[in-house]
Structure 1
């Protein structure tokens, strides 16, 4: 009987305990008090369950934000950081104007730190500081942020955080640390510029005196340190050329014989994107380089040129060839001639040197094809010659009869008129075997010159078809002809053809051979145009610095006087050219240089 009484007593006690445990759900005020007591007793798992239940049962209660906040905090105290992290996101989404928002960012930062997500943790600490830098939450966040700033985060991470909070005063310690690390790493000019910006932005900073002291200590070191910037597509669809630019620039610095100045290379990634190029150009300008080389292509070069010209920093683009880039301003220089300049040079050579009176054009039907054809035709007419026919073919064409036969017909009509007037010997158009007059489609016809400014793969098919249709002419071309593979395939169809290009390394040239050997030794592969022209651009800057031009303005004046600079990739002339190099080479199909 006694044991039965004991069992009944225990059942009553257990039942009443369950009932008591459920009472907190019946009243939100009592429930909040009960859940808080559980939390204060360090029963965090149970506290989470109670706060979570209250949040679900009373969604419209004025204390709902408190229920949600404490549920997330209970999980944090219980050590469930990943789950707590997601609850903080939920809280901030549900209650974007809550007065508890700074504390929510603070605890989310703690959760991320515990998960070793350091940059994201620092981001949350900054968000905890921003609303009220003098609050208790801001003080705790700042104390947790500083060890990350000084030891836990890389330079790139610090810069990323500052860029995420561009107008926040909370980034004060980050901006000082970035500048201090630049000084420690020997980037004195960059560090001084950053410290000066820091002092202007945070005149009341605790680090103000130290910033001033670092500037004073670094000035003498900065005097002899010069930075050359490089804007290149290190990532993205043109990263292979970006790599070549980096390698060419580094090789130029490696061979720098002037030891009077410490020259360093600062590289920024344009990612082949004009918008990114403008952004990193601004960042580069803030570092106050002596000059900048790049970007690779015309679109990126245009946006970067606007920024750097405005900041009075010389920019030499080694490969961008869009006409008019250098006209953006007096600090912009182009090494690669425009497609129009190639056409102009070929037209001048055809009429003036080869004494051609009548020429024709068959070109790709794209922007570059039309630009180079128009430039060629314009100069031919201006010098007294005549373009008797122009045709364009679509991309991917393999059969060029539609472009060749109309030209052949024009030449046949002229030959027929000459035959009728006795100016053409009929033996020219008689079959040697049958002694009969050939059909007009088979008449061999003559033309002084045929300009084919196409691409190598197209020219492999176009050139034999011109010969098949018995047009006897001297071929003229542009940089698409500068292909050993092409010239090998069409060697039986061309004789004394001439082409124009701005980059044609000659194997017998000692300067090129020396450069190519050094490049191969350093990087394990042969240099391309991007590497060679970037090398030349850096060498031009180094030559100016060695002659005492140690300010951007003096260096600009020096570059403006460059004439017939014998680079390893090309001849460079900026004098009297609106800073756009117009030095190109005319070459024969056997590799001989015919003119420039």
Structure 2
């Protein structure tokens, strides 16, 4: 019995090592690209599902192999699984709410399928229409047509609708939503969670010797979520909250809430645009300036227009590894003629992960134990792993806004997770 269990543990470790090594190829594939080169010729193209989904035409430099993956006429669940193919369903809004984001996710997903899929890997896209009901129907169709893993949907409410449908078929779901509340059971959340972002800020600030924290947040859902996560992370890491202030998003004068933050040596401002400018100006007016106090943001700050604000010089924000993210942006732009939105990289990394798991030694592995591998995975957006509760843990870099309107990486993204379940910074 002991020897058998030891053997099983050894197998799991070997699978984890193989998965991590293979997924790192996905990041290397993109990072090695230049603007001159288009995506690699696919060894397995994206399949159209039996019921046609209207999508934008693929660009000319994403070639297909005619006839290899034609639509599947009269295919039923009973006939699937005997052709040696590994089918993965992609659930994104190609019409309705979020169609632009859905198309970008689909584009990036195609890139990953071409780069990483072998001849047995088939990516099947389905339009959710941007609604929970549409997502549930798309999931049912994908499952009936042999999908062994579902990637998507985009929105939290849609993920809630898809989870039970997939669970009934014993299939796991990797959703693109940023709502951690939908994670659990067979649903894994892959979006850039605000809790992960603020934790990176707290860890960096405490590494500088800062222990007194404050928040200046917009009076809206995102602001409340960021402030709540920030309080939790400050307490967990042994810091002290000096004050937590909110403001109306349309209030241009924030001097009064800013005064309450005197005494903090790091302040989180999870906002963008005019709200962030008003917050920074309010803090500077009451002599809480970025030369002495760390202004900290979320990924909302990853905007070159904001970097030109002199009051934000010295401020920091989390971001995926710059090198691989820029290589992905160039490759996507070269292929599709427009720069990708930030979330497009999730489509690439999710499909790259699925393609790698599809060729795991011993057969495709989309089970919970594999998805929650402690070693994690390395993608274009950096290292990530799924916790047992279904939420994602990521390794993010820290960027600092410079006085000349540029940004500099002041703390690189980690390259691996340590054995204690924490990032190996």
Q: TM-score, normalised by structure 2?
A: 0.72
Give the aligned partner of residue 250 of structure 1.
Answer: 110
Judged with a 3 Å threshold, the aligned counterparts in structure 2 of structure 1 residues 186 and 485 are, in CA distance, closer, same or farther, namely closer
Q: CA deviation at 1:554?
A: 4.9
Give the aligned partner of residue 44 of structure 2.
Answer: none
Residue 183 of structure 2, aligned match among 326, 331, 336: 326
2:378 pairs with 1:560:
no
Judged with a 3 Å threshold, the aligned counterparts in structure 2 of structure 1 residues 186 and 565 are, in CA distance, closer, same or farther, namely same
2:118 pairs with 1:264:
no
Contact kept? 2:198, 2:226, Cα under 8 Å: yes
Judged with a 3 Å threshold, the aligned counterparts in structure 2 of structure 1 residues 467 and 291 are, in CA distance, closer, same or farther, namely same
Q: CA deviation at 1:463?
A: 0.9
Give the aligned partner of residue 500 of structure 1.
Answer: 318
2:275 pairs with 1:458:
yes
Q: Distance in 2 between matches of 1:516 and 1:500?
A: 18
Q: Distance in 1 between matches of 2:237 and 2:210?
A: 10
- Ranked by relative contact order (alpha carbons within 8 Å, sequence separation 6 or more), the top structure is 2
TM-superposition CA deviations, 1:506-555 (whole Å, max 9, x none): 2xx1x44443333222211122223211010000010111224645x655
Q: Distance in 2 between matches of 1:348 and 1:453?
A: 16
2:392 pairs with 1:581:
yes
Give the aligned partner of residue 226 of structure 1.
Answer: 86
Residue 191 of structure 1, aligned match among 66, 75, 79: 75
Moved over 4 A (4+): 553-556
Q: Which has the higher helix share?
A: 1
Range that drifts further, 369-378 or 446-455: 446-455
2:304 pairs with 1:484:
yes
Identify unmatched segments of 5+ residues in structure 1.
1-154, 158-183, 197-214, 412-445
Contact kept? 2:265, 2:294, Cα under 8 Å: yes
Contact kept? 1:232, 1:270, Cα under 8 Å: yes
Q: CA deviation at 1:362?
A: 0.6
Give the aligned partner of residue 372 of structure 1.
Answer: 226
Give the aligned partner of residue 335 of structure 1.
Answer: 190
Q: Distance in 2 between matches of 1:401 and 1:549?
A: 62
Range that drifts further, 355-364 or 452-461: 452-461
Q: Distance in 2 between matches of 1:564 and 1:276?
A: 32
TM-superposition CA deviations, 1:361-405 (whole Å, max 9, x none): 110111221121122122323433221111111232222123123
Q: Which has the larger radius of gyration?
A: 1
Q: Which has the higher strand share?
A: 2
Give the aligned partner of residue 349 of structure 1.
Answer: 204
Q: Distance in 1 between matches of 2:232 and 2:123?
A: 43
Contact kept? 1:292, 1:315, Cα under 8 Å: yes
Judged with a 3 Å threshold, the aligned counterparts in structure 2 of structure 1 residues 450 and 512 are, in CA distance, closer, same or farther, namely closer
TM-superposition CA deviations, 1:490-517 (whole Å, max 9, x none): 2x2234322234xx452xx1x4444333
Q: CA deviation at 1:279?
A: 2.2
Contact kept? 1:337, 1:584, Cα under 8 Å: no
Q: CA deviation at 1:588?
A: 2.1
Q: Distance in 1 between matches of 2:167 and 2:200?
A: 29
Identify unmatched segments of 5+ residues in structure 2.
1-49, 53-68, 402-406, 414-425
SS of 1:373 mapped into structure 2: helix
Q: Distance in 1 between matches of 2:362 and 2:178?
A: 27
Contact kept? 2:117, 2:352, Cα under 8 Å: no
Q: Distance in 2 between matches of 1:595 and 1:560?
A: 24
2:337 pairs with 1:524:
yes
Contact kept? 1:457, 1:486, Cα under 8 Å: no
Q: Distance in 2 between matches of 1:244 and 1:567?
A: 17
1:4-403 aligned within 5 A: 185=70, 187=72, 191-193=75-77, 196=78, 222-256=82-116, 258-259=118-119, 261=120, 263-317=121-175, 319-327=176-184, 329=185, 331-351=186-206, 353-403=207-257
Q: Distance in 2 between matches of 1:399 and 1:513?
A: 36
TM-superposition CA deviations, 1:112-144 (whole Å, max 9, x none): xxxxxxxxxxxxxxxxxxxxxxxxxxxxxxxxx
RMSD over equivalenced CA pairs, Å = 2.7
SS of 1:578 mapped into structure 2: coil
Q: Distance in 2 between matches of 1:566 and 1:395?
A: 37
Judged with a 3 Å threshold, the aligned counterparts in structure 2 of structure 1 residues 404 and 481 are, in CA distance, closer, same or farther, namely same
Q: CA deviation at 1:244?
A: 0.4
Q: CA deviation at 1:251?
A: 1.2
Q: CA deviation at 1:186?
A: 5.7
